[in-house]
Amino acid sequence: SVANLVNKFRGCLAGGLIGDCLGSPFEADNPISRSVLYNFLTKQLEESAKMFQMFPFTDDTAMTKSMAQSFIELKRFDAKDMAKRFSVEYFKDPKRGYGGNVVDVFAALRHTHYEYPYEPARLQFNGSGSYGNGGAMRTSPVALFGFHLSDAELIELATNCAKITHSNRNGYNGAILQCLAIREALQTQSSPTDHSFDVNVYLNSLIEKMQKVETTICTETDNNDSHNKSNGVPETPFTDKLNKIKKIFESQTKVNELSGEKVAYILGNDVSALKSVPSAIYSVLRGQTPIEAFQSTNPFVRTLYFALSLGGDTDTIASMACSIAGALYGNDLIPNPLRKHCEDIDLLIKYSEDLYDLVPNK
Ligand code: F2R
Ligand code: MG
Ligand code: MG
Ligand code: MG
């Protein structure tokens, strides 16, 4: 059993919201200005602010909320229900910064009355499917609802949830990795005194699981075999990136040397899942040790700072990083001022508690 699991559930959804709301003002800044970021985050951390500026959430959280609602109301996974919630939410409130092409999926889902929830996504990009990070960015409710599942069951659930919009192998595998990273964080007990945990144990577990995911032979329903294999050997791009991260973390000197800009160059910072999920995971691990450019003793704050410092798809990378960090450290470590800046924080906390209530045999 995990100590204070409900606190970790709350931290996961609160963290994801904070990363999205505080990251979206910088989305597409590439590179991001150090001084602007320093001043911004310093300001959002002020305890005694007269007024807390409210930052709206974007598509990342809109879709996370739909996922959570579907699990909470049905107490099971239903692809049609989830597809309908995504689509209805989009048409109700379309100006949330959705991806350029996923909106066609929402239109096609509505047009076909959600009868074939996987069809529109399969047809995207001439049948190759989206490899955007939209499946990964909304996956936290899967890790919470599926907390008690076996790896194989959790992976299947994450895949089926992602494929409603993202049928490209790298699109749904990114969602699987993000989901596994959150579940691993929920199961990891960081030190009650200095919040440390074993980075190597954490990474090795993810590498072992992703290796299995990426080397498993694809079924005929996968529509992008050309991406999967070269010379009969399955490609393992996510596993390769995790191994790159592992190599960097073998030397603390190397870790200290790498600025956000350099990490963005090595791992990526764009809207594709492959060039954002590993960067989010890196940011969480980077949060374990001090950051010269932003002095904070709080590893959640350091994670947020580093994720934003990558630039590019900041709302999504920070949201994914902070949902993992929140799952690791728990809600109590998240500074109160940060949450006060976020639209719908109380609702996300409520959803995390509702999802916790659904976990059997706690
Ligand atoms: N859309 C954005 N940000 C840019 C604009 C918003 C900004 N606030 C502004 O207005 O200035 N952010 C959101 O989108 C990302 C998630 O996107 P998702 O859900 O994966 O969408 P989509 O459309 O499926 O994919 C995104 C783009 O990736 C490229 N792409 C994907 N698969 C492709 C393929 N097989 N071949 C070629 N290109 C592919 C396309 O350019 C898609 O438009 C998050 O950042 C979220 O915050
Ligand atoms: Mg967004
Ligand atoms: Mg698609
Ligand atoms: Mg984004």
User: Is 59 near ligand 1, meaning CB less than 6 Å away?
Assistant: yes
CA of 114 to the centre of ligand 3 (A): 15
Do the Cβ atoms of 122 and 164 come closer than 8 Å?
no
125: alpha, beta or left, given left = phi > 0 and alpha = psi -120 to 50? left
Do the Cβ atoms of 165 and 273 come closer than 8 Å?
no
Burial code (b: 16+ CB inside 10 Å, e: under 16) for 233-272 equals: eeebbbbebbeebbebbeeeeebeebbbeebbeebbbbbb
Residue 179 has pLDDT above 60, yes or no: yes
CA of 61 to the centre of ligand 1 (A): 15
Burial of 198 (0-12, 13-18, 19+ CB in 10 A): exposed
User: Is 316 near ligand 1, meaning CB less than 6 Å away?
Assistant: yes
What angle in degrees, to the nearest 10, is found between the helix axes of 5-23 and 59-74? 150
What angle in degrees, to the nearest 10, is found between the helix axes of 79-92 and 59-74? 140
pLDDT class of 275 with cuts at 50, 70, 90: very high
> Shortest CA distance to 16 belongs to which of 357, 347, 238?
347
Cα three-residue angle 70-72-76, rounded to 5 degrees: 70
pLDDT at 195: 97
Question: Which residues hold their Cβ within 5 A of ligand 2, which is an ion?
Answer: 58-60, 97, 315
Residue 259 has pLDDT above 90, yes or no: yes
**For the CA of 101, the nearest atom of ligand 1:** 23
Alpha carbon nearest to ligand 1 atom 47, residue? 316
pLDDT class of 230 with cuts at 50, 70, 90: low
pLDDT at 222: 54
Q: How far apart are the first and last CA of the chain?
A: 7
Do the Cβ atoms of 206 and 181 come closer than 8 Å?
yes
The mean of the pLDDT values for the chain is 95
Which one-letter amino acid corresponds to residue 270? D
Question: Residue 174 corresponds to which tokens in the numbers above?
Answer: 């990114």
Residues 239, 333: Cα–Cα separation, whole Å: 30
Residue 215 has pLDDT above 80, yes or no: yes
Alpha carbon nearest to ligand 1 atom 10, residue? 97
**For the CA of 133, the nearest atom of ligand 1:** 20
H helices of the chain, in order, are: 5-23, 34-44, 59-74, 79-92, 102-111, 119-127, 140-145, 151-162, 169-187, 199-215, 225-228, 237-249, 252-257, 260-267, 277-286, 299-309, 314-329, 336-340, 345-357
Ligand found nearest the CA of 271:
1
pLDDT class of 216 with cuts at 50, 70, 90: confident
| DSSP states of 87-149 | HHHHHHS-TTT--TTHHHHHHHHHHTTTSSTTHHHHHHHHHT---BTTTTTT-HHHHHHTTTS
Do the Cβ atoms of 269 and 278 come closer than 8 Å?
no
Residue 253 has pLDDT above 70, yes or no: yes
Q: What is the ipTM of this complex?
A: 0.95
Do the Cβ atoms of 79 and 71 come closer than 8 Å?
no
| DSSP states of 47-93 | TT-SS-PPBPP-HHHHHHHHHHHHHHHHSS--HHHHHHHHHHHHHHS
Which one-letter amino acid corresponds to residue 315? D
Alpha carbon nearest to ligand 1 atom 25, residue? 132
Residue 218 has pLDDT above 50, yes or no: yes
pLDDT class of 201 with cuts at 50, 70, 90: very high
Q: Phi/psi at 230 (nearest 5 deg)?
A: -130, 130
Residue 144 has pLDDT above 90, yes or no: yes
Pocket test for ligand 1, best of 130, 163, 314 (most atoms within 8 A of CB): 130
pLDDT class of 205 with cuts at 50, 70, 90: very high
3-state secondary structure of 270: coil
pLDDT at 139: 98
> Shortest CA distance to 345 belongs to which of 44, 43, 11, 92?
11
- The pLDDT of 135-145, averaged and rounded, is 98
**pLDDT tens, residue by residue, 16-41:** 999 999 999 999 999 999 999 999 99
pLDDT at 82: 98
pLDDT at 260: 98
User: Is 27 near ligand 1, meaning CB less than 6 Å away?
Assistant: yes
User: Is 270 near ligand 1, meaning CB less than 6 Å away?
Assistant: no
Residue 177 has pLDDT above 50, yes or no: yes
User: Is 102 near ligand 1, meaning CB less than 6 Å away?
Assistant: yes
- The pLDDT of 92-101, averaged and rounded, is 98
- The pLDDT of 38-62, averaged and rounded, is 94
pLDDT at 50: 79
